[in-house]
Chain A
Amino acid sequence: SHLLVIEPEKIYAMPDPTMPDGYIKALTTLCDLADRELVVIIGWAKHIPGFSSLSLADQMSLLQSAWMEILVLNIVFRSLACEEELVYAEDYVVDEEHARLSGLLDLHVAILPLVRRYKKLSMEKEEFVTLKAIALSNSDSTHIENVEAVQRLQDSLHEALQDLEGAHNTEDPRRTGKLLMTLPLLRQTAAKAVQHFYSIKVQGKVPMHKLFLEMLEAKA
């Protein structure tokens, strides 16, 4: 219930109406959105019980490893009610045709399998918020100072997921496992998304804000 309370408000892409439609506009919109959503994610992480008790260095390491998984999981959850569309933001819903015209097809095709996977599981909001916190705590950063403290954070979030499933899904005793078994696909998808944006950064045609660049650099 605490994770539900700290869940951030809806986010809006607000594409620049003065820019001509196309590849540059679509990516400029997404990079600006990602930068603003990262600020929100950092604020959200601080409210996860136990996260702020970690050292500042470990908080940074977890976020630097997991930020794209969290961004992707947010997009995926927003898209669960749609058919083959991705809800990047409340006002930025992209179908395959739009994705093709705006140079977002690779990203679109990379994220959709994850949407299908969670649709099949009928993932609920309670499960989504818990899984998202688990993804952050389970980011496999190689730079963790206090491994025991991070393990305690993982354990408490894992326990929250088990409690949730114990209370709501007595008909499927394997549901916790099924949800956790989606995390490899989430990591794979986030890796593709990082690669996508990293190559855009290298091409240098799309403006990127500093935080987004900083987080991309941490993944380089």
Chain B
Amino acid sequence: KEKHKILHRLLQNST
């Protein structure tokens, strides 16, 4: 999961 941190962050953003 650490390898895919940008995707993870973008999915967690509420917008």
Question: Are B11 and A42 in contact, CB atoms less than 8 angstroms apart?
Answer: yes
Q: Name the distance in Å between B14's Cβ and chain A's nearest Cβ.
A: 9
Indicate if A152 sits at the interface (CB-CB under 8 A): no
Q: Report the interface size class on chain B.
A: 10 to 19
Give complex CA distance A214, B8 in Å. Answer: 11
B8 and chain A: residue at smallest CB distance: A60
Inter-chain CA distance A59–B4, complex, in Å, is 12
Mark interface residues in A41-59 (1 if CB within 8 Å of B CB, else 0). 0110010000000001101
Within 8 A of B (CB), among A166-220: 210-211, 214-215, 217-218
Fill in one digit per residue for A97-117: 1 if any B CB lies within 8 Å of its CB, else 0: 000000000000000000000
Docked-complex contact B4 and A64, CB < 8 angstroms: yes
- Residues in A whose Cβ lies below 8 Å from that of B11: 42, 46, 56, 59-60, 63
CA distance A57 to B1 in the complex (A): 9
Interface size on A, residues (CB 8 A): 16
User: What chain A residues lie within 8 Å of B5 (beta carbons)?
Assistant: 214
Chain B 1-15 near chain A by CB (<8 Å), digits 1 or 0: 101111110111001
Chain B residues in 8 Å Cβ range of A46? 11
Interface check A39, CB cutoff 8 A: yes
Which residue of the partner chain, among B1, B3, B4, B10, contacts A39 with CB atoms under 8 Å? B10
Interchain CA distance A184-B2 in the complex, whole Å: 31
Within 8 A of B (CB), among A118-135: none
Task: Say how far A198's CB is from chain B's closest CB, in angstroms.
Answer: 16
* Chain B: minimal CB distance from A149 (Å): 16
Complex Cα distance, B7 from A56, in Å, reads 10
| Distance, CA A56 to CA B8, complexed state (A) | 8
List 28 A-B pairs, Cβ < 8 Å.
A39-B10, A42-B7, A42-B10, A43-B10, A56-B8, A56-B11, A56-B12, A59-B11, A60-B1, A60-B4, A60-B7, A60-B11, A63-B7, A63-B11, A64-B4, A64-B7, A210-B6, A211-B7, A211-B10, A214-B3, A214-B4, A214-B5, A214-B6, A214-B7, A215-B7, A217-B3, A218-B4, A218-B7
